[in-house]
Structure 1
């Protein structure tokens, strides 16, 4: 890690750099296990977990504890183990060490590492790293970027990204592993003819860089699944809203849902008119 310790909470550029470096390091751990083959277990909610999830999360948590000791961290496997920090101060970090575990298990490359900073219910910084694709997206601190990461974990290129203008034939992204009838019905009602199935939080990032226009999600997600991608998309000019058009928020405890569970949402890049 090239950053000093600890990082000041007001220095968003350094925090984003910490997220970037931590995600790349976690991605290396995940890739090593991915290539060697991972043993799969089921958690109490019947969702799969592997050694890669657990080792990547521990690496990220250790880095965050060293550099941002005063910011509580809500991490997927920690929550599964019943360890939930006090986030009443309104500022906290969300970590999904391996989003798209089913993609990882199935041999698909579109799994990601997700780290996001939340303030007052909003994702203000986020990093989404797809280690098998050699790609990292980041958003916040006044920028939205796509990075190329080589086999030695060195960043070889950076470019700014932004959502694309409205077009007459919008395209939608859906979950490869978690699509549902309600999502299909939304796409049909919106008369969207082009659609593609993609795993993990990459769907937010593809909308953010203008590859697609909309990602509707009506099957369950948790906040750590969405926060980093949401931050990238917002920084690129898009938005994630609930069915009633309100911005998706974080740190939720909604009646009828689990703590940190999201309601249905729509991620779109077509809120900004350009050109």
Structure 2
């Protein structure tokens, strides 16, 4: 079993790995990079593949025998059988459409799953020079540029109403309106990629309801940061804790990421 002490000891290595991947992503971002289309019609770029080529072997070396489930390898049919054992979830570039639109809202994501729950996560937004990290039970931090890392926590429900963070490209307004029945909505913020979890984790938003398609590698690192900051992620019933290794293709049902609200 991998303990929280082990997770704390791993974080410096994870930070180094994700920074290295981020540098490679940004080098490609500055070029006229190639874009391809996967079998599911979603886009993938050189940056996705280059970042994964850095992260996956580095994690395999860091914890030998712990499998790595990574988006581009999975798309190519390389999906290890994880069962109930610890494993890594990697999304080398989450928000590829944001990457293509060059708006900076894309992230590099690494998470460690133990007992089907995230225990450690790192989310790097390289174009924003911002790194979020979290160890569940230990706390979460945000580091911008050369500034010292700052501890982040979710906020209690504001008196003026909640702020929702939503995807720029996915969602169902009717389902969202039904979900919000009885709550006062103060503001809706739009953001790309796993940054939505991080906005809730740092107290800039209160709720991220996702009523659209995702895979486990899309959410695991952000989930870890949010849980470390005092938040939670549930299935769309609002009660059942979100879990991992749910099915062989790692697809997710709808879910809700909660800050400090009930």
The two structures share one fold, judged by TM-score above 0.5: yes
Partner of 1:153: none
> Contact 1:98 / 1:112 at 8 angstroms: preserved in 2?
yes
In the TM superposition, structure 1's runs of 4+ consecutive aligned residues that sit over 6 Å from their partners are none
> Contact 2:67 / 2:80 at 8 angstroms: preserved in 1?
yes
Deviation at 1:162, TM superposition (A): 0.3
Query: Which secondary structure does the structure 2 equivalent of 1:252 belong to?
Result: coil
The answer for unaligned runs of 5 or more in structure 2 is none
The answer for unaligned runs of 5 or more in structure 1 is 1-7, 151-155
RMSD of Structure 2 on Structure 1 (CA): 1.7
Partner of 2:152: 161
Q: Deviations over 1:161-198 (max 9, x none)?
A: 00011112110011012233355334653442410110
Deviation at 1:30, TM superposition (A): 0.6
Partner of 1:197: 190
Judged with a 3 Å threshold, the aligned counterparts in structure 2 of structure 1 residues 251 and 96 are, in CA distance, closer, same or farther, namely same
> In structure 2, what is the Cα distance between the partners aligned to 1:232 and 1:67?
21
Q: Deviations over 1:64-121 (max 9, x none)?
A: 1221122100000000000011212421000000000000001110100010000111
Q: How many residues end up aligned between the 2 structures?
A: 256
Q: Deviations over 1:19-51 (max 9, x none)?
A: 211111111011111111322110000000000
Partner of 2:222: 229
Aligned match of 1:135 in 130, 134, 141? 130
Q: Is 1:249 matched with 2:243?
A: yes
> In structure 2, what is the Cα distance between the partners aligned to 1:120 and 1:35?
40
- TM-score, normalised via structure 1 length: 0.88
- TM-score, normalised via structure 2 length: 0.93
Partner of 1:220: 213
Query: Which secondary structure does the structure 1 equivalent of 2:196 belong to?
Result: helix
Q: Which 10-residue stretch deviates more, 200-209 or 140-149?
A: 140-149
Q: Is 1:116 matched with 2:136?
A: no
Deviation at 1:14, TM superposition (A): 2.2
Partner of 1:105: 100
> In structure 2, what is the Cα distance between the partners aligned to 1:185 and 1:46?
29
Partner of 1:263: 253
> In structure 1, what is the Cα distance between the partners aligned to 2:139 and 2:32?
36
Query: Which secondary structure does the structure 2 equivalent of 1:246 belong to?
Result: coil
